[in-house]
Structure 1
Amino acid sequence: MRLVAILALANLTAFAGNKSICGKTDDRALSTNPKIGRLLDSRSGDGGCTLTMISKSCGVSAGHCLSVLKVAEFNTSESVNGNIQHPEAKDVYDIDQKSIQSKNGGPGNDWAVFKVLPNNETGLYAGDVQGTYDVSFEIPEIGDVLRITGYGLDSEPSKNLAQQTHTGALQSVGTATRDTDDEDNWNGRPYSRLTHTVDTMGGNSGSTIIRESDEKIIGIHTHGGCSSWGGANQGTLIAKHTELTQAIKSCLNSDK
């Protein structure tokens, strides 16, 4: 059993980004949220990243997940001996490669917005079938309770790369190291980085960060930083990222 988890970890190194458990215990629980899917590099892929539907055809994830922005699958089941189980064909969708807008610039500037094509069998859009989350373009409050749901690694074979969820608190907004005080001339996004204490692992990359109070997406989870003694995981805040905000609104408008 341990060998399976080790092999999966090796396969997902590119997406791990040091995602980490906050505290001494892994408090993630198995979940079955149809709005949140698993990204793969093919229909026979063995793991990758996480996406969330925000309209009938618009999805969001992390920019460093570009190599697995090929196929999205929903309504997944628990893994068997650590190996993912693919859903029925009606719950598997291709990503429109020409539609992808993304950046892979580290915490605060790591995001992807794209179109999910209609299902090959049903002709229906993922958002119409699986459901969608609304996006908040407002700055959240420190201490807000956040939820992250995604497809992270796990040492328990049935949970490994299966959908799990956990809640934690928003720790900070707009903190990053930079070489200049001139925000307009800084190549990164110091004011769009957020930190939180939600448990995550490799495979959670691209999971949306959802505020529990109104169930709206406030950011995208991308990087680790937690440990057994403290710290915080990291992501990109939508409200303070102009380019990401524009990409999301453009995609949403195209679905109206």
Structure 2
Amino acid sequence: MRRWFMHLGALVLAGGAAAQSPLAEFDPADFGKVVIQPRQSTSGAGGIAFEQAFGNYQNEPVIAYGEGSQAVRLGRPVGRLDMLFEDGSTGFCTAFIVDDTHLLTNYHCIPGLPRDGVQPQVKAAQFVAGYIRPGHGEGVDRYTVAPNAVEADRALDYAVLEVFGDPSQTYGRLELAGVDPEDGEFLWIIGHPQGQSQHISREGCAASSPAVSGEGKLMHTCDTLGGNSGSPVLRLSDKRVVALHHAGDSRTGYNMAIPMARILAVSKFLKGAEGLPAAAPAPLPEVPAGACDALWAEAKGQGCAGYGAYLASCGTHAFAGLARNLQASDCGTAAPAVIHGALTVKPSGGDFPTLAEAVQRAPYGARVSVWPGVYSGPVYVTKDIEITGAGPRDQIVIDGVMHWSRGRGAVRGLTLRQGVAVDGGSLTLEDNVITSPATGIALRGGDAVVRANLVQQTGEAGVSISSNGAVRVEANRITRSAHAGIEIRDGAAPEVFDNEISDGAQSGVYLHSGGGGVLRGNEIHHNAFHAISAKGAVKPVVRGNRLHSNGYDAVRLREGAGGTWEDNDLSGNRAGGFRVEPDAGNVLLRGNRE
């Protein structure tokens, strides 16, 4: 009869008498520390164990590849899981971030398999993130983990754990793939063997052939040790997690992992990305120029339906731009009819090595997925396109100005070091980090939605708005601008809602040259000058804002500036609330608190 024996460092399948392996544990007094030494190493008596290294052990510290390396960037969501049990025992595993509140690891880590018929009780657990330098705990973060799994499956050896403090904001998260790897496909495993700093197994690391055994296990040749339990198995094609490492068999020379597709099929908490590797979209069938000429002639007579049919087949034809404009103006619909599969931008191995090249060569309506890396040079957008970061936004850096002059689309999840300039078209700019030696976001033409961005350390204004189009600026954090946090000028009338504007070297908001619009629900504080300064023929509606802790008055109106100012909190500024100069215009003040 076969029996399973559990130790956090090793699980051994033996026939007859029990064959135990020493526990990979640490001194309970060291719980909560970063650099801790295992008491013993895992070395089994043969058979199936939770981690095994075969032959020439080739699991390397990730830092050996350099702090800016792909290995280090990819491993950021991976951390060490430290467990302290009620009986005084301890153990290491690996876990990784899957969303803002959850980690994924092995069931045999938490809640753990019974020992001598008794279920172990976890007293405390922590997630150690950013531990990449051997023996050094500087710059490492520790997060509390709930000792009880929110979802667990013993048969599939996985557990979803709740983590507190949202480590995904700093370290990102890994995407889960919903299909199995191909036979012989190259893999990476990143984890914390023996509780050491983060290591990567990549040399000789591959799926077997066939990749998945008849028992539904991914068989692989990646070297692991005790502590690697719960490590993500990543495929090289798109760096998504295809399996959860959990065991090894010294008799066959293979380690084993649970395919992520099996886990996703039963989990209520985990969400998988599309399973297939990212690849260039299949090209649209070529339509002869003569046929597009005929379709265009037909489209003009059919109106809205005709424009859509024409664009679906002839999106790059000579009259496609005109058709989009007519469709937008006459039909009130977004212009492009065709959205292609995502193109990938990666430093190596993607469809394009730079974002500039991807935007230039992508078809109209394309989706572009930008992977971690630093991409230099300006980006010029003159077409309908959607650009999205595929990873933590602080690791996806565009080191060149993004110029948007035509087309409808979106830019999400990037770090833009040289700012964004919008001169036309329609852009949604969302969830980005934006810095610039000049203006962070210059909205000079077209329509724009600027939402949930961090705009910081700009050499001029954080956001400058001079466009007469429809502009909405909402829920952004704008901080440490050398000029105004938001400048509104030249007749622009944006909606500015629910932003935090702080720590600027001048005023939080500066309206001049006919600028106006609606400002509502903003918090404007700790700016060197005024919260809001306005001059010239400006008549904004400013309602329900909190303006506090600024260096001068909350509001200064001069040289004809007027408008409606109601229900604002202007208390706590250094020089007072309203300062209405004698040369100001017509001002309506109602329900404000100073």
* TM-score (norm. length: structure 1): 0.69
- What residue in structure 1 maps to residue 146 of structure 2? 96
Runs of at least 4 residues off by over 6 Å: none
- Partner Cα distance (1:211, 1:244) in 2: 22
Whether 2:146 is the aligned partner of 1:146: answer no
**Quick check: 1:50–1:61 contact (8 Å CA) kept in 2?**
yes
**Quick check: 2:211–2:220 contact (8 Å CA) kept in 1?**
no
- What residue in structure 1 maps to residue 83 of structure 2? 41
Query: CA distance change for structure 1 residues 245 and 143 in 2, over 3 Å: closer, same or farther?
Result: farther
Q: 2:52 aligns with which of 8, 13, 20?
A: 20
Q: 1:214 aligns with which of 224, 238, 255?
A: 238
**Quick check: 2:110–2:147 contact (8 Å CA) kept in 1?**
no
TM-fit CA distance, 1:48:
0.5
**Quick check: 2:184–2:211 contact (8 Å CA) kept in 1?**
no
Q: 1:53 aligns with which of 97, 104, 128?
A: 97
**Quick check: 1:21–1:201 contact (8 Å CA) kept in 2?**
yes
Whether 2:246 is the aligned partner of 1:235: answer no
Note the residue ranges of structure 1 that are not aligned, 5 or more in a row.
119-124, 154-159, 177-189, 251-256
Secondary structure class of the residue paired with 1:233: strand
Which protein is bigger by CA-based radius of gyration? 2
TM-fit CA distance, 1:173:
4.3
TM-fit CA distance, 1:64:
0.2
RCO higher in 1 or 2 (8 Å CA, sep ≥ 6)? 1
**Quick check: 1:239–1:245 contact (8 Å CA) kept in 2?**
no
For each residue in 1:97-153, what CA deviation from the matched residue of structure 2 results, as whole angstroms up to 9, or x when unmatched? 455211233xxx1111122111xxxxxx11111111111112221111111011113
Secondary structure class of the residue paired with 1:19: coil
Note the residue ranges of structure 2 that are not aligned, 5 or more in a row.
1-25, 27-36, 63-71, 112-121, 273-594
- What residue in structure 2 maps to residue 175 of structure 1? 213
For each residue in 1:169-227, what CA deviation from the matched residue of structure 2 results, as whole angstroms up to 9, or x when unmatched? 11144425xxxxxxxxxxxxx33x11101000110000011111100001100001246
- Partner Cα distance (1:97, 1:243) in 2: 25
Secondary structure class of the residue paired with 1:235: strand
TM-fit CA distance, 1:71:
0.9
- What residue in structure 2 maps to residue 29 of structure 1? 60
Secondary structure class of the residue paired with 2:200: strand
Q: 2:162 aligns with which of 96, 107, 115?
A: 115
Return the structure number with greater helix share.
Answer: 1
Structure 1 counterpart of 2:130, one-letter code? N
Query: CA distance change for structure 1 residues 97 and 226 in 2, over 3 Å: closer, same or farther?
Result: same
- Partner Cα distance (1:60, 1:242) in 2: 12
**Quick check: 2:145–2:162 contact (8 Å CA) kept in 1?**
yes
- Partner Cα distance (1:162, 1:146) in 2: 20
Secondary structure class of the residue paired with 1:129: helix
- Partner Cα distance (1:52, 1:61) in 2: 7
Query: CA distance change for structure 1 residues 51 and 244 in 2, over 3 Å: closer, same or farther?
Result: farther
- Partner Cα distance (2:249, 2:241) in 1: 21
For each residue in 1:41-65, what CA deviation from the matched residue of structure 2 results, as whole angstroms up to 9, or x when unmatched? 25xx975100111222221111100
- What residue in structure 1 maps to residue 196 of structure 2? 161
Query: CA distance change for structure 1 residues 20 and 214 in 2, over 3 Å: closer, same or farther?
Result: same
Secondary structure class of the residue paired with 1:239: helix
- Partner Cα distance (1:86, 1:46) in 2: 20
**Quick check: 1:137–1:245 contact (8 Å CA) kept in 2?**
no
